[in-house]
Chains A and B, each alone.
Chain A
């Protein structure tokens, strides 16, 4: 089982820059609550080992995240996720926006009335939420393969 924040849950595609894929992975961990505001993150070297990437790439991802104020590093202390609510909100709306855009792009080919679509999304979404909470309970029961 994975321990911690789920760092290892990443599959790299080969056409996007690896460092940007790492940044995106961080954003997803933040938005899904697996990384908290102000939480200490691994050192560059530790991250490299965890994600099985080259330390130069880890370095570049951290630099990018620092520039975008996603993480903060003060003096010699380890880097942390930002506490800045504005930044955190922006990440959330950014990821949500991208996901909705992708959904709309694929659904608009079908040409469905918006009311029907919204209703369908609502039903599916609630189902999915129930599924997720159901699964968490059974995982808590200790059964690995459900």
Chain B
């Protein structure tokens, strides 16, 4: 379980995160939803230790952040962070050298799933293809959790469908997934839990099926309530 407890962060005299607490369970897909600037990406970066927080605590399976977090939690940032001159095959090799948890078999499976050509140069990839390769890098390690920052944004419909398919496949298996999005639409029936953020605060945190069965509301309905009360 990833536990975020009362984290606060200030940036230029303004709180970008105010007392944020939530959990993301293993074996579940948790989605941080909110408009641009709500603080979603900042939370992912904070979990990965990429940005300092002013106060609060982040625990991964009960342990505070440490070096081992990078083997246990994979992060798929909103853009590909690989040298552009590398071929995809070299990029995979680079990851394999870097991470003990790298699973070459799964990497191969993912490359096939997304129909990528490993002889291609990273710098020549279209936006959608780069996003797919980015996911390959994030999903191939045997990490227990995967964080994804806006995996669907700015990507064409067919690539989005393909990426969405990953979530119902065994590539996710028993892992815990925490992703952010500002357009929940097509993801709505794929996620277990929704955490709606607004202005650096949690507006609502709920089990999607429970809200559908008890209140007959869609995730978008709840989001409207948070944003347009």
Are A45 and B212 in contact (CB-based, < 8 A)?
Answer: no
A57 and B209: CB pair below 8 A? yes
| Complex interface bits, B188-200 against A, C-beta within 8 A gives 1, otherwise 0 | 1111100000000
Let me know if A16 and B164 touch, CB within 8 A: no
Question: Who on chain B is nearest to A46 by CB?
Answer: B170
The reply to whether A14 and B188 form a contact with Cβ atoms under 8 Å apart is: yes
A45 contact set on B, CB distance < 8 A: 170
Instruction: Pick the residue among A18, A49, A55, A60 that contacts B189 (CB under 8 A).
Output: A18
Number of interface residues of B (CB under 8 A): 24
Contacts of A17 in B (CB 8 A): 209, 212-213
Q: Contact: A49 with B165, CB < 8 Å?
A: yes
Cβ of B101 within 8 Å of any chain A Cβ, yes or no, is no
Pairwise interchain contact A54-B190, C-beta atoms closer than 8 A: yes
Contact pick for B192, options A14, A51, A54, CB 8 Å? A54
Q: Is the CB of B212 within 8 A of A54?
A: no
Q: A residues 15-54 with Cβ under 8 Å of B? A: 15-20, 45, 48-49, 51-54
* Contact A15-B216, Cβ < 8 Å, known A54-B192, A56-B192: yes
Residue count of chain A within 8 Å CB distance of chain B: 19
Query: In the docked arrangement, what's the CA distance between A55 and B29, Å?
Result: 10
Does A54 lie within 8 Å of B221, measured CB to CB? no
Q: Tell me the B143-196 residues at the A interface (CB within 8 Å).
A: 164-165, 167-170, 172, 188-192
Task: Label chain A's interface by main secondary structure.
Answer: helix
Nearest B residue to A53 via CB reads B168
Q: Which residues of B contact A48 (CB under 8 A)?
A: 168-169
B220 interfacial contact with A, CB 8 Å: yes
B103 at the binding interface (Cβ < 8 Å)? no
Q: Which of B27, B172, B213 counts the most A-chain CB atoms under 10 A from its CB?
A: B213
Q: Is B129 an interface residue (CB 8 A)?
A: no
Query: Could you list which residues of chain B lie within 8 angstroms of chain A, going by C-beta atoms?
Result: 27-29, 164-165, 167-170, 172, 188-192, 209, 212-213, 216-221
Besides A54-B29, A56-B27, A56-B28, 14 more A-B contacts (Cβ < 8 Å) are: A14-B188, A14-B189, A14-B212, A15-B221, A16-B213, A16-B216, A17-B209, A17-B213, A48-B169, A49-B168, A49-B169, A51-B168, A52-B190, A55-B168
> Can you give 24 contacting A-B residue pairs, CB < 8 Å?
A12-B189, A14-B189, A14-B218, A14-B219, A15-B212, A15-B217, A17-B212, A18-B209, A18-B212, A19-B209, A20-B213, A48-B169, A49-B169, A51-B168, A52-B165, A52-B190, A53-B190, A54-B29, A54-B167, A54-B190, A54-B191, A55-B168, A56-B27, A57-B209
